[in-house]
Structure 1
């Protein structure tokens, strides 16, 4: 029974851990030397960031329908808008700097729209986490508090940290830890709840 809770919890933590690893390798500054790796890294990251939304989506499976629906819409918004940040401020900006052999005003304009997309995506990420935290606290009470505090703190930090070392890396580790703990407590609540209570919960 314990193993059945730990495996999904590890799966929910995995996207944050992967992103923390990429964060260590993320250039701190975009310039002529770092531009090729900057662009290539964000190509690799395109399918990785949506895994955070997938973890949110799954963690919301046992939430009451209103929380589940709103949270999944927010998770989708995160995947869409943060993917835009990756494409614009990551792939496009790196490609432009490499092609033009330096940072130009065009790159500044590209970063402006990328930052806007990233902030919208991070706000959606925070909203989805607030909803899944609410659902977790409703079902697991005080047992969900440690994971909720860690996940909420990391989600706020994510708003302007991306995955840059060091803050962004620790932010991703916090997201991984928070999702892991919430997954464990949510799974525990489902296992220990009376059968009649589980039966009344709406389907995923």
Structure 2
């Protein structure tokens, strides 16, 4: 695949999540519960695409970076999907059924936050390994994209995709991944495996 399409493809998940973040309710209450639930059903297959983009960016990394990075990308997809299902779909369903927030919703959010933090931490680890691999391949050309991706990955630890910070975070993820895709292609041929 040529550089522009790959650079675009790895940016698409972040761009989609930024767009969805712009319409994500700031609060979950009886009025927003139906859209909250529906949005998280829609997002269920979108969030793992970030892990797929990470997996792709690790293709040409040396095995000692590639495999731990791919395990972390998988961990992100699995655990962050749990957040989406629990704090998104389940919490929205509970609030809608109970016509408002109750202590049950707090317990649901606590469970969702736990898996979400694990997922976001895995995302950060995979991003750091992507940056190391890109710097090894492309040197200083990878620097700007690496800085943007790492800053966005740290922000993702607690920003989710909520407006405005989460939207900016996802735009940073998209820009950083795209930049690193361009920079990484200038290195040696991809390794196999």
Per the normalisation by structure 2, the TM-score is 0.98
Give the Å deviation of 1:188.
1.9
Q: Which residue of 1 aligns with 2:134?
A: 136
Match of 1:189, SS? coil
CA contact (8 A) 2:59 2:191 kept: no
Candidates 16, 19, 32, aligned match of 1:18 = 16
Aligned residues, how many?
193
Give the alignment partner of residue 175 of structure 2, picking from 171, 174, 177.
177
Q: Return the structure number with greater helix share.
A: 1
* Paired position in structure 2 for 1:194: none
Does the CA contact (< 8 Å) of 1:136 and 1:144 recur in 2?
Answer: yes
CA contact (8 A) 2:21 2:161 kept: yes
Paired residue secondary structure (1:41): helix
Gaps (5+ residues) in structure 1?
191-197
Q: Deviation at 1:4? A: 1.7
Matches for 1:1-204 after TM superposition, within 5 Å: 4-190=2-188, 198=189, 202-204=191-193
**What is the deviation of 1:96?**
0.2
5+ long unaligned stretches in structure 2: none
Query: Which one has a bigger Cα radius of gyration?
Result: 1
* Deviation, structure 1 residue 202: 3.6
The TM-score normalised by the length of structure 1 is 0.93
Work out the CA distance in 1 between the residues paired with 2:16 and 2:171: 9
Contact 1:38/1:90 (<8 A) preserved: yes
**C-alpha distance after superposition, 1:103-152 (max 9, x if no partner):** 00000000001001100000000000001110000010000000000000
Output the CA distance in 1 between the equivalents of 2:2 and 2:70: 24
* 8 Å contact kept, 1:5–1:188: no
Deviation >6 Å, runs of 4+: none
